[in-house]
Amino acid sequence: MGKTVEFVVILDHGVRKRHHHVTNRGRVVYFAVQLEVNVKGDWKPVVRYDCSHRFSHRDKYDIKENKTKMPLDLSFESALTFGEWDIDENWSKYKEEFLKGVPHG
């Protein structure tokens, strides 16, 4: 079995990033990095990068929890790095769009 790394980063009041990845022999075999916003006491997903369907992709959610999946033509390692960077750089914009009900895509 591989090594698992999990952590949560508080980005702002009511905004957090959850990170989870598993490596085996130095290679990422599973990952998920997700931006979440607290809405009336419930943590809601806003943007998630993962490989749960055996390919790297981004899911973007609206406030009603509808999602749009965008495949990424990236290795798991690159998609994890990109997802971390994207959420760190754009969490505020994603949060605003989510709370305003801007259509996802």
- Per-residue pLDDT reduced to its tens digit, 28-59: 999 999 999 999 999 999 999 999 988 999 99
- Check pLDDT > 80 for residue 20: yes
Would you state the pLDDT for residue 101? 80
Tokens standing for residue 10 = 């508080």
Query: 3-state DSSP: the chain helix, strand, coil percent, rounded to 5?
Result: 25, 50, 25
Spatial contact of 19 and 50, defined as CB atoms under 8 Å apart: no
pLDDT band at 105 (very low <50, low <70, confident <90, very high): low
Whole-model pTM: value is: 0.92
65-99-92 Cα angle (round to 5): 110
Q: Pairing relation of β-strands 42-50 and 15-24?
A: unpaired
Averaged pLDDT for residues 14-39: 96
- Per-residue pLDDT reduced to its tens digit, 60-93: 999 888 999 999 999 999 999 999 999 999 999 9
Would you state the pLDDT for residue 104? 55
